[in-house]
Amino acid sequence: MLKGSRVWKANAIVFIGGACTMIIELVAGRILAPYVGVSLFTWTSIIGVVLAGISLGNYLGGKVADRWPSKLVLGAIFFAGGLTTIGILPTTAVLGSNPLPITMHIMDRIVLYTFFIFFVPACILGMVTPMVIKLTLMDLKETGGTVGTIYAYSCTGSIVGTFLTGFFLITWFGTRTIVWLVAATLIAMGIMASASWRSSHKWALVVIAVGLFSLGFSGRDEWQAPCLKESNYFCIKVDNTRLEDRDVKALSLDHLVHSYVQVDDPLYLGYGYEKIFADVTHYVAEEKNELRSLFIGGGGYTFPKYLEILYPDSLLEVVEIDPAVTQVVYDELGLPPTTKVKTHNMDARIFLIDRPPSYKYNVIVGDAFNDLSIPYHLTTLEFDKLVKNVLEPDGIFLANIIDDYQTGQFLRSYMYTLKQIYKYIYLFGIGKAWDGTSPSTYVVAAADRPIDMQEMNKVVSANNRGRGIYGEYLEDGALQKYIADGPTLLTDDYAPVDNMVAMLFARPR
C-alpha cells in the first residue's frame, strides 16, 4: 500500500520542481533579450529547447531511477539542477562577450543561444519526476493513480511558477535574482531529499554543493544583466556616446538603440526618420491653430520634447506600454517634471479602443517597432481603422519602418494594408534608399488628403533656415507599382510580420 506521508512528500517535491522549471523558462526570454531581442523566434526557441531538455531528462531520469532508486540520487539531481541553474548566468555572460557569428542565420543563432544556456538545466530538472515516481511506488496495482497524481502536481507547480514569474517575480526581483533564488531552492531541496540517507558521505555532498553555490554567489556581480533597469518589457540601457560631433545619450531597449538624446538641446533630432516626422508635422501645423499629436511608442521622447519646445500650446500625448521606460526618460534623458507631454502607460491598441471617437488628432506618429520584436497587432487593418477613428479628416498618420525595399515584404504589405482605408500613401526615405540593396529606415505617411510637396518644402525651409524636406520621397507611379507587387494584407487573423522581418537579419548587418 502507499504511505500517505510518502505521497504528499512526492507531490510537494514535483510541485516545486515543476515551478522551478517554468520560472527558468519564463525568465529565459528576459535573459536573452539584450542579445537577440524578444520575438516569435525567441519564444519558439525557448519553448522548444526547454521541452527538448525536459523530454531527455524524463528519459534519462527513468533509466537512472531503475538502476539507482535512492534519495541520495534524487538529492544529487536537485544539487546538479541548482548548480547548472547558477551556470545560466556565467554562460550568458560568456556568450554575450563572445557572440555567435553575425553571418549565421538569425533563427539558428537564437536556437543555439537558447540551447547553450538553458538545455542542461531543463534536462536535469526533467529527471526529477521519474525518480520521485520510482521512490513513491509501493504497490504496482496503484501505479496509474500514483503516476497521474504526481504528474498533476508537477503541472500545477508549473502553472503556479508561470503566473508568479510573469505577474510578480520579475517585477519584484529581476531575472538575475530570480535565477539565484531558484538555484538556492533546488539546492535546499537536494539537502532535504537526501537528509534521511544514512551515511556520513551525504554531508560531504552538502558541503560541496553549498561551497560551489557560495563561490558562484561571490562572483555574481560579473554576471549581471547589461541593464540600467530591467522591466517586465525591456532591458533598458542608457549609454553616453558621440553622434554628429555631439555628446549624446543613447537609449537602448533590449539590444537596439531607440533614441539619441542631447539633454541640454531638446531640439536635436539624432535619427533621420525623426527629421522626416518633423518636416511633415511642420507642414500640418502651418494650417492649424492648435497642434494635436499622438505618439504610439515613447522611446526617449525625443520628438515629443522637440514639438513641445516649438509648439508650446499644442496637445502632446504619448502611449508607451512600459512605465519603466517613461521613468528612465524622466530620470536620465531630461524630460522635465513640468512637461506638458501626457503619458499613457498602456498598450496602444487598448488606448485607441477606449478613446472616444470625438477625440481627434492632427498627427499620429507610430514609432513602436523594434527590428525583430514587432508588435504585430499594431500592423493590422483592424488597428489602422482604430487609428483613423481618432484622426482628423485632414490629419496624417506617420510610421517608421525598417525593411529592404528590394527584397523585403513587410514594407509593401504594411503600405498595402494602409491603402485599404486611406486615399493617399507616401513613402519617404533617408536619401533615395529604395535605390540601395540593403535594409534602411523609411517613413510611411497615410492621409485622406494629398500632401502638397512644394508647399511642404516651402514650410520646412522657413522653419529650418533654408533647408528643404529631409530625405527623398518616392514618386507616386513607382510607389503604386511597388505596393501592388505581391503584398500581403495584414489582418488580426494573418499578420506574419516576424517572418517577413526575419529575412533582414539572416545576413550580416
465: left (phi over 0), alpha (psi -120 to 50) or beta: left
pLDDT at residue number 2: 45
Q: For the ranges 30-39, 68-77, 137-146, which has the lowest average pLDDT?
A: 137-146
User: Over pLDDT 70: what percentage of the chain?
Assistant: 90
* Residue predicted with more confidence, 277 or 200: 277
* Residue predicted with more confidence, 148 or 195: 148
DSSP type of residue 143: H
Residue 402's SS3 state is strand
pLDDT at residue number 509: 47
> Has residue 64 been placed in a domain?
yes
> Has residue 489 been placed in a domain?
yes
pLDDT at residue number 436: 87
CATH of the domain at 55: 1.20.1250
pLDDT at residue number 400: 94
> Has residue 242 been placed in a domain?
no
Residue 81's SS3 state is helix
> Has residue 252 been placed in a domain?
no
Together in a domain, 183 and 328: no
Together in a domain, 216 and 273: no
Domain end point (choices 204, 226, 248):
226
Residues belonging to the chain: 509
Cell numbers that stand for 58 in this block:
524524463
pLDDT in tens, 380-393: 999 999 999 999 99
Look at the chain and report how many structural domains it folds into: 2
Together in a domain, 142 and 63: yes
pLDDT in tens, 216-259: 555 555 556 678 888 888 889 999 999 988 999 999 998 888 99
> Has residue 126 been placed in a domain?
yes
CATH of the domain at 347: 3.40.50.150
> Has residue 250 been placed in a domain?
no
| Vertex 128: Cα angle to 124 and 133 (nearest 5) | 150
Structural domain for 394, as ranges: 257-506
**Residue 192 — very low, low, confident or very high, per pLDDT cuts 50/70/90?**
confident
Together in a domain, 208 and 282: no
Together in a domain, 367 and 424: yes
pLDDT at residue number 1: 39
The long-range contacts involving 5-12, CB below 8 angstroms and separated by at least 24 positions, are: 6/135, 6/136, 6/138, 7/136, 7/146, 7/149, 10/132, 10/133, 10/135, 10/136, 10/150, 10/153, 11/149, 11/150, 11/153, 12/153
**Would you say 110 and 42 are in contact if contact means Cβ atoms under 8 Å apart?**
yes
Tell me the average pLDDT across 308-335: 95
Q: Is the pLDDT of residue 332 over 90?
A: yes
Residue with cell 525518480: 131
Together in a domain, 12 and 125: yes
The long-range contacts involving 151-155, CB below 8 angstroms and separated by at least 24 positions, are: 151/14, 153/10, 153/11, 153/12, 153/14, 153/15, 153/18, 154/14, 154/15, 154/17, 154/18, 154/129, 155/18
Tell me the average pLDDT across 466-493: 91
> Has residue 414 been placed in a domain?
yes
Together in a domain, 301 and 261: yes
What is the crossing angle of helices 175-193 and 201-218, to 10°?
170
Together in a domain, 304 and 190: no
The rounded mean pLDDT for the chain is 88
Q: Is the pLDDT of residue 198 over 60?
A: no
Q: Is the pLDDT of residue 479 over 70?
A: yes
